[in-house]
Amino acid sequence: MDFTDVSLTALRVFRAVAEQGTFTAAATSLGYTQSAVSRQIAAIERVAGTELLERRRGGVRLTAAGRVVMRRATTVLDEIEATARELSGLPAQSGTVRLGWFPSAGAVLLPRALAALRHTDPGLRVVGREASTPALVRALRAGSLDLALLSSAPPFRPPDTETPPLALQTLAERPLRLAVPAGHPLARGDFVDVADLRGQRWIAGPSSGEDRLMGVWPGLDERPEIAYTARDWLAKLHLVAAGFGLTTVPVTLAPAAPPGVRVLPVQGGPQELRRLLVARLPQPPSEPVTRVAAALRAAALDADTPTLPSSPP
């Protein structure tokens, strides 16, 4: 048996493991058991005659041979998907761009960019998914994404230490905001003093990476009281609207805040900035990738139009 006998299922599993970073996460994304994923990876490494994944504490990383297989597997799987579209009678596309984005970018910025592309480039197809910034970086490295919207917090380190470095463009650098229930005493003014955040209840995100308390104002000199933990931004904002606590939000999410929430700046401490980046591999981009990146940049500039804090209902 040689590598030409590798199944499409094995290639899909291999791509999922490379993108997700662990066998467990790949199994969850595919709806497989972890043992089934392990069997597929063992089979593809057996016919390759070498290890394709470097098993490390906390996850896996592609070996040199794994990068070769991943690059070719991505091409094969993309062609199979394109064939399926043609057979189903869908019109030909002028190009396909695989885009990834971190959760809050999908609420406002992404729909704006896609709506603009629908008018300017109706034949351009954008496909992709939401994921955490580390998962998006792995997918870029694996070759299964062309572009990714990433979030970065001070001290604004590179998103990974791999070489060559990813090509990064800063689309915006904006201050972090605070979402407050409209009936909360802190919602009476046009800003919140950082000293008044002591003793508050918080709606936080799951612990991950460097930002272990996403949703809690950074740098508080106390152990925060976490009322609820939610991964979804809309869920967090609705919990705020119901009066269960406060949460931090990127300023771009202000237009998506539901009734009953005020999105306010925080004063009295160091300014908390967040960068919005678009990332890709360092080789020259294709024309469709360039057009999607331009639409994202235009949407980010449009979102920079000054807005006043939302008013109580």
Q: What is the pLDDT of residue 308?
A: 36
For the stretch 193-224, pLDDT in tens is 999 999 999 999 876 444 456 889 988 888 99
Buried b (16+ CB within 10 A) or exposed e, 202-232: bbbbeeeeeeebbbbbeebeeebeeebbbee
Does the pLDDT of residue 136 top 90, yes or no?
yes
Choice between 130 and 310, residue whose per-residue pLDDT is larger: 130
In the predicted model, what is the mean pLDDT of residues 129-155? Answer: 90
Go through the chain and tell me how many residues it has: 313
For the stretch 225-249, pLDDT in tens is 999 999 888 899 999 999 999 999 9
Supply 183's token pair: 């009936």
Share of the chain above pLDDT 70, in %: 91
Question: First and final CA of the chain: distance in angstroms?
Answer: 68
Does the pLDDT of residue 99 top 80, yes or no?
yes
∠ CA 196-201-206, nearest 5°, is 125
In the predicted model, what is the mean pLDDT of residues 67-82? Answer: 83
Q: What is the pLDDT of residue 311?
A: 39
In the predicted model, what is the mean pLDDT of residues 112-124? Answer: 90
For the stretch 83-98, pLDDT in tens is 776 676 655 456 889 9
Whether the model pTM is above 0.85: no
In the predicted model, what is the mean pLDDT of residues 174-203? Answer: 94
Question: Is residue 140 within 8 Å of residue 279, measured between CB atoms?
Answer: yes
Pairing, β 273-280 against β 201-204 = unpaired
Widest CA span of the chain, in angstroms? 72
Does the pLDDT of residue 182 top 60, yes or no?
yes
Q: What is the pLDDT of residue 94?
A: 62
Give 85: exposed, middle or buried? Use CB within 10 Å, 0-12, 13-18, 19+: middle
Q: What Cα–Cα distance (Å) separates residue 124 from each residue in 52, 113, 139, 266?
A: 33, 12, 21, 41
Give 277: exposed, middle or buried? Use CB within 10 Å, 0-12, 13-18, 19+: buried
For the stretch 17-30, pLDDT in tens is 988 888 998 888 88
Q: What is the pLDDT of residue 303?
A: 63
Choice between 4 and 115, residue whose per-residue pLDDT is larger: 115
Q: What is the pLDDT of residue 212?
A: 52
- Find all residues with CB under 8 Å of 107, minimum gap 6, and list them: 233, 234, 252, 253, 256
Q: What is the pLDDT of residue 306?
A: 41
Q: What is the pLDDT of residue 79?
A: 80
Q: What is the pLDDT of residue 85?
A: 66
Instruction: Give dist(CA 28, CA 166) in Å, integer.
Output: 28
Average pLDDT, the chain: 86
Question: Is residue 203 within 8 Å of residue 228, measured between CB atoms?
Answer: yes
Q: What is the DSSP string of 265-307?
A: -EESS---EEEEEEEE-SSPPPHHHHHHHHHHHHHHHHHTS--
Q: What is the pLDDT of residue 89?
A: 63
